[in-house]
C-alpha cells in the first residue's frame, strides 16, 4: 500500500493519547485501591488530560485530510454493525469525551467515585479504540501482512508504550514521585512492543501470498508476463496501492524504526529515571514517537495488495 | 434472486479497447457526474475508468499466446467491499445483485478500494468520490432506450461479441449457458468473493477438414486413370471460386 501521512499521524497520535490516558488512569486506580502508590495530585491529571486531548484532537484533524469529502464525515457513524471504520469513528469521540469529563472531574473536585467511574469508561473506550483501529486492517483478509491478531496486539502495545513513555516525561514535571513507576512500565512495554512487532516482522517475511498472476487472470500457465495494463499515465490503482520505493529503502526504514522506537528509548528512559531528568525523558518520547511514525509507514508499505498483480507493466 | 453479470470471452477479445471508450463515454455523460480526465493531451494523463483492457503474454516464444483481459467490477456475490464501508454508500442491490456506490453518501475514505482484491474501484480525482462499474444501471432498465439498447455500453460496443450480459442465476440465460458449456470461471477464487462476472477460457483452434475437401472427388484421374490437367498443386479455376 502507499502510506498516507494523514493515517500515519491519526494512528500514532491517538495511540499515544490512549496510552497516556491508560497510564494516568492506572496510577489513579492503584491509588484508589490503596495499593502502594503515591497520589500525584490533581495537577498531574489535569495536565495529562489536556495533553491526551490535544493528541487525540490532532489525530482527529489529521484523519479529515484522508477523506475526499470531509463535509459528509458525520455519515460514517451509521454502519457500525458491519464496519470497523464506522466503529472507530464512534469510539474515538466517546473516548475523547470521557477524557475531557475525567479532567473536568479532577479540576472541579467531583466525587472521587464519579471521577473513577468516568476514568473506567475512558479506559474501556481507549482499549476499544485500539481494537477498532487494529481490526480496520486485520479484517482485510487478502492483505495477508495485516490479517493477523498481531496487528491488533501491536496497535495496543505500541500505543501504550509511547503513551506511558510520555506519562513518565509528564510525571517528571508535575509528579516526580511517580516517574520511576511509569518509566519501569514504559521500559517493559517498549520491550514487549519490540517482541510483538518483531514477531509480526518475522511472520510477514515468511508469508506465501495466496493470489498469483495465475489466479488473478485465471490462466494456469507457469509463464505469464503482462504486456500492458490498459493505461500509460498512471491511475488510482497505480498510486494508491504501491509505495514506489526500492526494497533497500524499505529495509532501511525497518531498521530505523526498530532502532528509534524500541532500542534508543530504553537507555534514555533508564538514565532519565535515574537522574530524574525531564529533558531526557522527553527526548525518549520524541525519539520513540518518530520511530513509531517510521513503524507505521513501514506497516502500510509492507502490505502487498493483490490488485498489484494487475499492474506490473505499463506497456 | 437475480444476479446480473458480464461473461467475458477471452477466446475472442481482440483488445481493441472499444468497451473502454464506450464505457467512459456513457458513464461520464450521465446524471451521476463526469469522470475525471486530467491532462488528457499532456505528458502525464490520468483519469477514471470503470473498465480497463489489459494484455498478457502466456507461454515462451515461439509458443506464446496474447491474451487480452478486460477488467471491471465483478459484482461479487459476497462483496468484501460492501460491509467495510462506514457510511453505507457502498451497497449490493437485492433485486439484481448489482454492487453500487451511492455517490452522495460517499466520504471518499477509500476503505472499500482497499477491501476489493481486484482493484475494481477508482476514487475520482475531481469528485473525490469512489466510483466503479455500475453495470450501466441507467441503461439496462431505461425505457427511453429502444429494447435492444438496454444493455451495458461495453456489451453493445464490442465488435467481436466477447461480452455477454445476463442473469447468472437463471440457468437458461445466455450467460449461464456459456459458463456451463464453455468452462466459465471466476477470478481469484481463493478469497471466496464469488464474483458474478465470469471469464470464458481460450479454446484450442483446430481446423477440421475432411480429405474430400482437399482432394476433388470428381478428380478426372478417378474416372479415367489419366493425370489430371493441370496437376493438383497448381492454381485452377476451382481454387479461385472455392471460397
Ligand atoms: S469486484 Fe471489487 S468492487 Fe466489485 S463487488 Fe467485487 S470486491 Fe466489490
Ligand atoms: S470510499 Fe465511499 S464507498 Fe468507499 S468505503 Fe469510503 S465511504 Fe464507503
- Residue B213 confidence (pLDDT) above 80: no
Q: How far is CA B79 from the centre of its chain?
A: 20
**What integer is the mean pLDDT of B91-107?**
96
Q: When comparing pLDDT for A178 and A144, which is higher? A: A144
Q: Evaluate whether A196 touches A150 at the Cβ level (below 8 Å).
A: yes
Contacts of B86 by beta carbon, 8 Å cutoff, 6+ apart:
A75, A76, A77, A78, A79, A83, A85, A86, A89, B107, B109, B111
pLDDT at A114: 95
Q: Could you read off the pLDDT of B123-174 as tens digits, one per residue?
A: 999 999 999 999 999 999 999 999 999 999 999 999 999 999 999 999 999 9
- Residue B228 confidence (pLDDT) above 80: no
- Of B56, B117, B121, nearest to A227 by CB-CB distance is B56
pLDDT at B218: 62
Instruction: Inform me whether the C-beta atom of residue A82 falls under 8 Å from chain B C-beta atoms.
Output: yes
Contacts of A45 by beta carbon, 8 Å cutoff, 6+ apart:
A24, A28, A102, A103, A106
- Distance from C-alpha of A193 to C-alpha of B137, rounded to nearest angstrom: 50
Summary mean pLDDT of chain B: 91
Instruction: Inform me whether the C-beta atom of residue A79 falls under 8 Å from chain B C-beta atoms.
Output: yes
Q: What residues of chain A lie within 8 A of the CB of B58, using their CB?
A: 219, 221, 223-224
- Residue A31 confidence (pLDDT) above 80: yes
- Distance from C-alpha of A194 to C-alpha of A259, rounded to nearest angstrom: 10
Q: What residues of chain A lie within 8 A of the CB of B202, using their CB?
A: 219
Q: When comparing pLDDT for B205 and B60, which is higher? A: B60
**What integer is the mean pLDDT of A28-51?**
86
- Residue A209 confidence (pLDDT) above 90: yes
DSSP strands (E only) in B39-157: 46-47, 51-58, 65-72, 90-92, 99-101, 122-123, 130-131
Angle between helices A5-32 and A42-64 (to 10 degrees): 160
Q: Evaluate whether A124 touches A116 at the Cβ level (below 8 Å).
A: no
> Residue B6: nearest ligand to its CA?
1
pLDDT at A22: 97
CA–CA min distance A218, chain B (Å): 6
Instruction: Inform me whether the C-beta atom of residue A259 falls under 8 Å from chain B C-beta atoms.
Output: no
Q: When comparing pLDDT for B242 and B12, which is higher? A: B12
Contacts of A43 by beta carbon, 8 Å cutoff, 6+ apart:
A174, A175
- Residue B98 confidence (pLDDT) above 90: yes
Residues 99-138 of B with CB under 8 A from A: 105-111, 113-119, 121-123, 125, 127-129
pLDDT at B28: 96
> Residue B217 — pLDDT band, cuts 50, 70, 90?
low
Kindly give the distance from the C-alpha atom of residue A313 to the centroid of ligand 2, in angstroms, as a whole number: 28
Q: Evaluate whether A102 touches A115 at the Cβ level (below 8 Å).
A: yes
Q: What residues of chain A lie within 8 A of the CB of B129, using their CB?
A: 68-69
- Residue A23 confidence (pLDDT) above 70: yes
CATH class of B4-200: alpha beta
In chain A the domains, ranked by start, together with CATH numbers, are 5-205+239-311 (1.20.1630.10)
Q: By CA distance, what is A84's nearest residue in B?
A: B84
> Residue B219 — pLDDT band, cuts 50, 70, 90?
low
Other Cβ atoms less than 10 A from the Cβ of B202: the count is 15
Pocket flag, ligand 2, residue B53 (CB < 6 Å): no
- Residue B113 confidence (pLDDT) above 80: yes
> Residue B85: nearest ligand to its CA?
2
Q: What residues of chain B lie within 8 A of the CB of A75, using their CB?
A: 86-89, 105, 107
Partners of B165 in beta bridges:
B6
Which ipTM value was assigned to this complex?
Answer: 0.93
Pocket flag, ligand 2, residue B112 (CB < 6 Å): yes
Kindly give the distance from the C-alpha atom of residue B76 to the centroid of ligand 1, in angstroms, as a whole number: 6
The region of weakest confidence among A79-93, A100-114, A187-201, B223-237 is B223-237
> Residue A41 — pLDDT band, cuts 50, 70, 90?
confident
Instruction: Inform me whether the C-beta atom of residue A228 falls under 8 Å from chain B C-beta atoms.
Output: yes
**Cβ contact (<8 Å) for B52 and A89?**
no
Q: Evaluate whether A201 touches A62 at the Cβ level (below 8 Å).
A: no
Residues 144-183 of B with CB under 8 A from A: none
pLDDT at B222: 59
Kindly give the distance from the C-alpha atom of residue A2 to the centroid of ligand 2, in angstroms, as a whole number: 18
**Cβ contact (<8 Å) for A231 and B55?**
no
Summary mean pLDDT of chain A: 95
3-class secondary structure per residue, A159-199: HHHHHHHHHHHHHHHHCHHHHHHHHHHHHHHHHHHHHHHHH
Kindly give the distance from the C-alpha atom of residue A151 to the centroid of ligand 2, in angstroms, as a whole number: 23
The region of weakest confidence among A18-32, A124-138, A174-188, B207-221 is B207-221
Q: What residues of chain B lie within 8 A of the CB of A301, using their CB?
A: none
Ligand 1 atom at minimal distance to the Cα of residue B133: 4
3 state DSSP class of B100: strand
pLDDT at B241: 59
| Percent residues over pLDDT 70 in chain A | 99
Q: What letter would DSSP give residue B146?
A: -
Kindly give the distance from the C-alpha atom of residue B112 to the centroid of ligand 2, in angstroms, as a whole number: 5
Q: Evaluate whether B110 touches B102 at the Cβ level (below 8 Å).
A: no
pLDDT at A39: 77
pLDDT at B225: 61
Q: What residues of chain B lie within 8 A of the CB of A308, using their CB?
A: 119
> Residue B85 — pLDDT band, cuts 50, 70, 90?
very high
**Cβ contact (<8 Å) for A79 and B119?**
no
Q: What letter would DSSP give residue A223?
A: -
- Distance from C-alpha of A1 to C-alpha of B119, rounded to nearest angstrom: 12
- Of A82, A143, A221, nearest to B83 by CB-CB distance is A82
Q: Could you read off the pLDDT of B179-210 as tens digits, one per residue?
A: 999 999 999 999 999 999 999 999 988 888 87
Ligand 2 atom at minimal distance to the Cα of residue A85: 5
Q: Evaluate whether A256 touches A294 at the Cβ level (below 8 Å).
A: yes
> Residue A42 — pLDDT band, cuts 50, 70, 90?
confident
**Cβ contact (<8 Å) for B118 and A307?**
yes
- Distance from C-alpha of A284 to C-alpha of B15, rounded to nearest angstrom: 58
Q: Could you read off the pLDDT of A62-114 as tens digits, one per residue?
A: 999 999 999 999 999 899 999 999 999 999 999 999 999 999 999 999 999 99
**CA dist A77 to A40, A148, B193, Å?**
37, 25, 26
Amino acid at each position: 500500500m502507499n502510506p498516507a501521512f494523514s493515517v500515519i499521524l491519526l494512528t500514532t497520535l491517538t495511540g499515544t493519547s490512549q496510552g497516556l490516558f491508560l497510564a494516568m488512569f492506572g496510577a489513579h486506580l492503584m491509588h484508589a485501591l490503596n495499593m502502594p502508590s503515591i497520589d500525584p495530585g490533581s495537577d498531574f491529571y489535569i495536565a495529562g488530560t489536556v495533553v491526551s486531548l490535544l493528541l487525540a484532537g490532532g489525530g482527529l484533524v489529521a484523519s479529515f485530510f484522508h477523506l475526499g469529502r470531509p463535509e459528509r464525515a458525520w455519515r460514517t457513524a451509521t454502519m457500525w454493525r458491519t464496519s470497523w471504520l464506522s466503529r472507530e469513528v464512534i469510539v474515538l469521540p466517546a473516548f475523547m469525551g470521557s477524557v475531557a469529563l475525567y479532567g473536568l472531574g479532577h479540576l472541579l473536585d467531583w466525587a472521587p467515585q464519579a471521577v473513577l467511574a468516568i476514568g473506567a469508561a475512558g479506559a474501556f473506550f481507549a482499549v476499544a479504540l485500539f481494537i477498532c483501529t487494529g481490526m480496520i486492517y486485520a479484517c482485510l483478509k487478502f492483505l495477508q501482512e495485516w490479517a493477523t491478531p498481531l496487528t491488533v496486539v501491536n496497535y495496543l502495545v505500541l500505543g501504550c508504550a509511547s503513551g506511558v513513555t510520555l506519562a513518565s516525561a509528564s510525571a517528571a514535571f508535575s509528579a516526580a514521585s511517580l516517574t520511576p513507576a511509569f518509566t519501569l512500565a514504559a521500559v517493559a512495554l517498549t520491550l514487549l512492543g519490540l517482541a510483538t512487532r518483531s514477531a509480526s516482522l518475522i511472520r510477514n517475511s515468511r508469508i506465501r501470498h495466496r493470489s498469483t498472476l495465475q489466479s488473478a487472470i485465471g490462466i494456469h500457465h507457469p509463464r505469464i508476463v503482462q504486456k500492458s495494463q490498459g493505461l500509460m499515465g498512471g491511475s488510482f490503482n497505480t498510486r494508491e496501492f504501491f509505495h514506489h520505493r526500492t526494497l533497500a529503502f524499505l529495509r532501511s526504514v525497518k531498521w530505523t524504526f526498530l532502532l528509534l522506537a524500541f532500542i534508543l528509548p530504553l537507555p534514555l528512559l533508564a538514565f532519565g529515571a535515574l537522574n530524574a531528568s525531564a529533558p531526557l525523558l522527553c527526548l525518549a518520547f520524541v525519539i520513540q514517537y518518530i520511530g513509531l511514525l517510521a513503524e507505521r509507514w513501514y506497516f502500510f508499505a509492507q502490505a502487498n495488495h493483490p490488485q498489484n498483480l494487475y499492474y506490473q507493466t505499463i506497456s | 434472486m437475480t444476479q446480473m453479470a458480464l461473461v467475458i470471452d477471452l477466446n475472442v477479445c481482440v483488445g481493441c479497447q472499444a468497451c473502454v471508450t464506450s464505457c467512459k463515454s456513457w458513464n461520464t455523460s450521465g446524471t451521476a457526474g463526469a469522470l475525471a480526465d486530467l491532462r488528457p493531451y499532456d505528458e502525464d494523463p490520468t483519469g477514471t475508468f470503470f473498465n480497463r483492457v489489459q494484455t498478457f503474454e502466456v507461454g515462451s516464444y515461439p509458443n506464446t499466446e496474447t491474451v487480452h483481459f478486460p477488467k471491471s467490477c465483478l459484482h461479487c456475490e459476497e462483496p468484501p467491499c460492501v460491509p467495510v464501508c462506514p457510511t453505507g454508500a457502498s451497497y449490493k442491490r437485492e433485486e439484481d445483485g448489482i454492487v453500487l456506490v451511492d455517490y452522495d453518501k460517499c466520504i471518499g475514505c477509500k476503505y472499500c478500494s482497499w477491501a476489493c482484491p481486484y482493484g475494481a474501484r477508482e476514487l475520482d480525482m475531481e469528485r473525490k468520490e469512489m466510483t466503479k462499474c455500475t453495470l450501466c444501471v441507467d441503461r439496462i432498465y431505461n425505457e427511453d432506450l429502444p429494447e435492444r439498447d438496454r444493455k451495458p455500453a461495453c456489451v453493445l460496443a464490442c465488435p467481436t461479441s466477447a461480452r455477454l450480459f445476463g442473469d447468472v442465476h437463471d440457468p437458461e440465460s445466455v450467460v449461464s449457458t456459456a459458463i456451463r458449456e464453455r468452462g466459465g470461471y471466476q477470478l481469484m477464487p481463493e478469497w471466496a468473493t464469488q464474483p458474478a462476472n465470469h471469464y470464458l477460457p481460450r479454446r484450442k483452434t483446430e481446423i477440421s477438414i475432411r480429405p474430400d475437401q482437399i482432394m476433388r472427388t470428381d478428380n478426372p484421374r478417378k474416372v479415367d486413370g489419366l493425370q489430371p490437367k493441370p496437376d493438383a498443386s497448381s492454381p485452377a479455376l476451382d481454387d479461385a471460386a472455392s471460397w
